Chains A and B, each alone.
Chain A
Amino acid sequence: SSELTQDPAVSVALGQSVRITCQGDSLRTYYAGWYQQRPGQAPVLVIYGKNNRPSGIPDRFSGSTSGNTASLTITGAQAEDEADYYCNSRDNSGNHLVFGGGTKLTVL
């Protein structure tokens, strides 16, 4: 099992805000990256570091960390945001990178 824990599924009404979380002891020390993956496609980086968005990522995506929990917030979810979301960071040893198990986001 992953050292980063995510809820398997989350749903949100169209236009509402949603927070997807990632828990792990390593998050007290290291930032999380967040990836969006639509079916049949490669992952896309949406947030990394403290709250950095790569070019082309809408500003409705934001990241934060509190204690051992990193969060990805989508403010005003759109239909195209329906996807799997993965966090990644270090494992508890700090020597390897790991991914969370992923959260399936459904936009209702």
Chain B
Amino acid sequence: EVQLVESGGGLVQPGRSLRLSCAASGFTFDDYALHWVRQTSGKGLEWVSGISWNSGSIGYAESVKGRFTISRDNAKNSLYLQMNSLRAEDTALYYCARDVNPNILTGLDGFDIWGQGTMVTVSS
């Protein structure tokens, strides 16, 4: 079964750090780009970051650029998001999502597999 499983969420104080992980199974991991997408409670989706199959192309939303770092380990079939200097507005459910392409920003963008998400709450 094709699957993405996120972990690492939790309650963290403003200014602190957190690292999210996403474990993939059921498909050839390094054939696909991957993304992090977040959703605030009862609200819409926000693209956070994406990484190509070989980590050669990376993109970030302006709201997280300079604070968040995306990475992947193809040997471990895992995607990561290092989140530093967290703010209250980063509170959200964070999804890991698979791109239909090996590269990001192809113009044929689509996220065809999603995990169930991991909740991040930034509060003092």
Contacts and interface: CB of A to CB of B under 8 A. Distances in A.
A61 interface: no
A95 B111 contact: no
A102 B117 contact: no
Residue from the set A42, A45, A89 with the largest chain B CB neighbour count within 10 Å: A42
Kindly state the interface size class of chain B when it binds its partner: 20 to 34
A93 B60 CA distance: 13
A44 B116 CA distance: 11
Interface in A73-108: 86, 88-90, 94-102
A102 B44 contact: yes
Contacts of B37: 43, 99
B114 A97 contact: no
Interface string B90-124: 00000100001000110111111011110000000
A52 B115 CA distance: 22
B116 A30 contact: no
A96 B112 CA distance: 18
A48 B100 contact: yes
Contact of B108 (A48, A95, A96): A48
Interface string B15-55: 00000000000000000000101000000111100100000
Contacts of A2: 44
Interface of A: 2, 29-31, 33, 35, 37, 42-45, 48-49, 52, 54, 86, 88-90, 94-102
11 contacts: A31-B109, A42-B115, A43-B95, A44-B114, A48-B109, A48-B112, A94-B105, A97-B35, A97-B109, A99-B44, A102-B44
Query: Top 8 closest A-B pairs, CB basis?
Result: A48-B110, A42-B114, A97-B47, A99-B45, A33-B110, A49-B108, A45-B112, A102-B44
